[in-house]
Amino acid sequence: MTTDHCKTCRCKPRPRRANIRAVVVGLLVVGVLAVAGIAVLRMDPWGEDGGGLSERFQFNADGYQRADPALVKFHEQGSFASGLNAVRGLAVGPDNRVYVAGQASVLVFSADGKREAEIPLKAESTCLAVGGADHAHPGRLYVGAANRLYLFDAQTASGTWSEGFDDKSVITSLAAAEDAVYAADAGNRVVLRFAPDGKLVKRIGQPDEAAGIRGFVIPSPHFDVAVTADGLLRVANPGARRIETFTPDGDLLGQWGKASAEIDGFFGCCNPADFTVLADGRFVTAEKGIPRVKVYSPQGELECVVADPEMLGQTVSAAQLNEDSGHTPTFDVAVDGGGRVLLLDPLTRQVRVFVRQPEART
Whole-number Å distance between alpha carbons of 256 and 241: 9
What is the domain partition of the chain in residue ranges?
68-360
CATH of domain 68-360: 2.120.10.30
Record the pTM: 0.82
- How would you classify the pairing of strands 125-130 and 341-345? unpaired
pLDDT value, residue 6: 39
Kindly indicate the confidence band of residue 319, based on its pLDDT and cuts at 50, 70 and 90.
low
- pLDDT level of residue 62 (50, 70, 90 thresholds): confident
Contacts of residues 309-318 at CB distance under 8 Å and 24 or more positions apart, as own/partner, are 309/64, 309/65, 309/66, 310/65, 310/66, 311/72, 311/76, 312/343, 312/345, 314/347, 315/61, 315/65, 316/61, 316/289, 316/290, 316/291, 317/61, 318/59, 318/60, 318/61, 318/62
Strand order in the sheet with 190-194: 171-176, 181-185, 190-194, 200-204
Question: Could you report the per-residue pLDDT of 251-272, keeping only the tens digit for each?
Answer: 999 999 999 999 999 998 899 9
Give dist(CA 142, CA 176) in Å, integer.
Answer: 8
Distance, in Å, from the CA atom of 125 to the CA atom of 102, rounded to the nearest integer, reads 6
Compute and round to an integer the Cα radius of gyration of the chain.
Answer: 25
What's the chain's average pLDDT?
A: 84
Question: DSSP letters of 98-111?
Answer: EEEEETTEEEEE-T
What is the β-pairing status of strands 190-194 and 200-204?
Answer: antiparallel
Q: What is the largest CA-CA distance in the chain?
A: 102
CA 312 – CA 264 distance, rounded (Å): 18
Query: pLDDT tens-digit profile of 227-245?
Result: 999 999 999 999 999 999 9
Q: Can you tell me the distance from the alpha carbon of 355 to that of 309, in angstroms, rounded to the nearest whole number? A: 17
Burial 40-54 (b: 16+ CB within 10 A, else e): eeeeebeeebeeeeb
